Structure 1
Amino acid sequence: MRVLITGGGGFIGQKLARAIAAEGVVAGQAVSGLTLVDIAAPEAPEAGFPVTTLACDIADPGAVNAVFEEKFDAIFHLAAVVSGAAERDFDLGMRVNLFGTLTLMEAARAQGNCPLFVYASSCAAHGGEAPETVRDDTPANPQTSYGAQKVACEYLVTDYSRRGFLDGRSLRLPSVTIRPGKPNAAASSFMSSIFREPLQGEAANCPVGEDFVIWHSAPRTVVRNILHAAALPAEAWGTNRALNLNGRSDTVGEMIAAMTRVAGPEAAARITWTREPEIEGILEGWRAKVDSARGRALGFETDESFEDSVRWFIEDDMARA
């Protein structure tokens, strides 16, 4: 099986690549080659099969077609302009998140082999008049350009699957925390920085109150769930190829208390509390309580506690952050 990861230089793309390299199997089939693409050529993991890394702008049809000179059996599409950036620059978000995804899907369709296509969507699909607790049958109602672009692509993934062009599955990811690295332009970036930086001796600001609720999942769990999505047979998905991925709903205060139980009180003391109206305005359009009954029925994992997320960050990512 030949595998492609877009956004292969991002932290989830890198973790997914390392997991595939370690396991050597995707959807029950041995991996014969892995290609990672991003706007700059990603780092390649050590693997028992060939790994190719390429710089590619997914919104450039010529660049995408060059990548698809090789035929892929499984595609993990993680590349995107993040929420805050897509809200500030509508044209950039449309170019990458909508038209870039369509360009990628068309290239996959042209292969003629109906490849697996796992698409990273977002909890930003829900908002507006949605109920406080989102269910699997709650209509998507995005309140940001980023969310609208993600939902549009979900519908395309389902239709391309119906037509037999792809074997797609779209995962509405919770906020993935604790992310390694540095803060980015995502509205949800603070959901990692208020833990990541304090755990490493640095200050970080929380732009919302302690009672703000976050729907979240740990990077380890998200990677395992992405691979599980690829392993499920097409018939398990039925006519709707999108689902709300499993996550936890906790307040900022509860998550900080969990960090304190694991790492002591010093980290929490490094958090400042200056409200940021722009961030709050975006986040108010999201929903933070989700009943992922379909995901549970399909065997996706759910984190047991945020304490595990803190421990896993310390084990996996302190040296890289």
Structure 2
Amino acid sequence: MKIIVTGGAGFLGTRLIKALLARAGQVEGLPAFESIVSVDLAPCAVDDPRVSSVTGNVSDPAFIRAAVTPDTVAVYHMAAVVSGQAEADFDLGMSVNLDGTRALLEACRALGTTPRFVFASSLAVFGGPMPEVVPEDLALLPQSSYGAQKAIGELLVGDYSRKGFIDGRVCRLPTIVVRPGKPNAAASSFASGIIREPLNGQASNCPVPPATRMWLSSPATVTDNLVHAIAVPGERLGGRRTLNLPGLCVTVAEMLASLERVGGPEARARVTEVPEQRIIDIVCSWPGDFDVSRPLALGFTRDGDFDAVVRQYKDEFIG
């Protein structure tokens, strides 16, 4: 039996695969598996005999059908063209984020075995006027192509679950901070950059107003919650398959204050504040706080505070 992880060569996919391997047989409800298959444009870097890679485009139905074989017990759909890139290249975003999701769901449907299916969605499905604290049932009103593509994917996962083709769970991920490595094309990339670069002695710019609220989670907590998502029994979710994963509501000003407390005044001084309207238009349309009482009751967790998030990155990647 195997678990498939699309986007398995990426930062979060790699962490997820390592966590699944470490917790096999130890987490109640986690499907039993002997192997994990990473599906991505590049091979997964995890060095473990239980991990294999197949490389190709998730929007290619034939490629996906070949990867999703009858021994598939669960699928994590993490692969996506991120927000800024999907906005700049509409056709690419539609191909990967919409056509790829549909191809993967159809491959699962063809199995006839109802595999568990975790779809990584986004806060970008929301937009327009919103309450201070967003309830789980707020109507979707995406303000970007990426958000629209994720919203459509959520509806598909819900309907394929209703029909019994999959046992789906939609996880709307908070913005993940702090990501190591280089900036990516996501509109939210700066949220890691204003912490990561200064702690590494480099300059960074904050393109949004200091009062901008963000819904954030550390990589470790998001990974824990994704493992938990596949283990939660479907009957506990019922017909409500969408979950806003717990996060922290933090303003950009508070993020920079945490940077100064953990990294010192010299780190804070490396951050400039030059507005970038393209980023403001996308990020400031996202909600900053959520009612996550249901996910917490289902056993999902959140970080304690943002200082701890910054320290987690510093301890793991800087030392």
Report TM bin, short chain. Answer: over 0.9
Structure 2 counterparts to residues 91-110 of structure 1, below 5 A = 91-110=91-110
Contact in 2 for aligned 1:246/1:296 (Cα 8 Å)? yes
Matched residue, 1:268:
268
Matched residue, 1:153:
153
By how many angstroms is 1:298 displaced? 1.2
CA distance, structure 1, for counterparts of residue 275 and residue 30 of structure 2: 47
Compute the TM-score of the two structures, normalised by the length of structure 1. 0.95
Deviations 1:239-266 (A, max 9, x none): 1211211111111111111122222222
Matched residue, 2:283:
283
Matched residue, 2:210:
210
CA distance, structure 2, for counterparts of residue 7 and residue 316 of structure 1: 22
CA distance, structure 2, for counterparts of residue 296 and residue 158 of structure 1: 21
Contact in 2 for aligned 1:80/1:96 (Cα 8 Å)? yes
Contact in 2 for aligned 1:43/1:53 (Cα 8 Å)? no
Aligned CA RMSD, in angstroms, stands at: 1.5
The yes-or-no answer on 1:238 pairing with 2:238 is yes
Structure 2 counterparts to residues 5-16 of structure 1, below 5 A = 5-16=5-16
Runs of 4+ off more than 3 Å: 25-30
Tell me: CA distance 1:318–1:3, structure 2 relative to 1, closer, same or farther (3 Å).
farther
CA distance, structure 2, for counterparts of residue 111 and residue 70 of structure 1: 6
| Number of equivalent positions | 317
Deviations 1:259-316 (A, max 9, x none): 2222222211111111101100111221112121221221210111011111211233
Compute the TM-score of the two structures, normalised by the length of structure 2. 0.95
Secondary structure (helix, strand or coil) at the match of 1:249 reads: strand
Secondary structure (helix, strand or coil) at the match of 2:304 reads: coil
CA distance, structure 2, for counterparts of residue 45 and residue 131 of structure 1: 46
Secondary structure (helix, strand or coil) at the match of 2:151 reads: helix
Contact in 1 for aligned 2:24/2:30 (Cα 8 Å)? no
The yes-or-no answer on 1:23 pairing with 2:23 is yes
Residue identity matched to 1:240: R
Residue identity matched to 2:54: L
CA distance, structure 2, for counterparts of residue 50 and residue 69 of structure 1: 16
Contact in 1 for aligned 2:31/2:74 (Cα 8 Å)? no
Matched residue, 2:35:
33
Secondary structure (helix, strand or coil) at the match of 2:269 reads: helix
By how many angstroms is 1:29 displaced? 3.9
Secondary structure (helix, strand or coil) at the match of 1:299 reads: coil
CA distance, structure 2, for counterparts of residue 314 and residue 125 of structure 1: 31
Tell me: CA distance 1:31–1:314, structure 2 relative to 1, closer, same or farther (3 Å).
farther
CA distance, structure 1, for counterparts of residue 90 and residue 132 of structure 2: 28
CA distance, structure 2, for counterparts of residue 175 and residue 17 of structure 1: 20
CA distance, structure 1, for counterparts of residue 31 and residue 66 of structure 2: 25
CA distance, structure 1, for counterparts of residue 161 and residue 187 of structure 2: 31
By how many angstroms is 1:318 displaced? 3.8
Matched residue, 2:144:
144
Residue identity matched to 1:296: L
CA distance, structure 2, for counterparts of residue 197 and residue 268 of structure 1: 10
CA distance, structure 2, for counterparts of residue 81 and residue 153 of structure 1: 13
Deviations 1:125-149 (A, max 9, x none): 1111332321112111111111111
Matched residue, 2:117:
117
Secondary structure (helix, strand or coil) at the match of 1:102 reads: helix
CA distance, structure 1, for counterparts of residue 31 and residue 164 of structure 2: 21
CA distance, structure 1, for counterparts of residue 276 and residue 285 of structure 2: 15
CA distance, structure 1, for counterparts of residue 87 and residue 151 of structure 2: 15
Tell me: CA distance 1:45–1:23, structure 2 relative to 1, closer, same or farther (3 Å).
farther
CA distance, structure 2, for counterparts of residue 85 and residue 7 of structure 1: 16
Contact in 2 for aligned 1:17/1:45 (Cα 8 Å)? no
Matched residue, 2:73:
73
By how many angstroms is 1:209 displaced? 2.1
Contact in 2 for aligned 1:194/1:206 (Cα 8 Å)? yes
Residue identity matched to 2:317: D
Secondary structure (helix, strand or coil) at the match of 1:154 reads: helix
By how many angstroms is 1:70 displaced? 5.5
Secondary structure (helix, strand or coil) at the match of 2:207 reads: coil
Identity over the aligned pairs, expressed in percent?
48
Tell me: CA distance 1:30–1:238, structure 2 relative to 1, closer, same or farther (3 Å).
closer
Contact in 1 for aligned 2:30/2:230 (Cα 8 Å)? no
CA distance, structure 2, for counterparts of residue 281 and residue 114 of structure 1: 40
Which moves more between the two structures, 144-153 or 281-290?
281-290
**Gaps (5+ residues) in structure 2?**
none
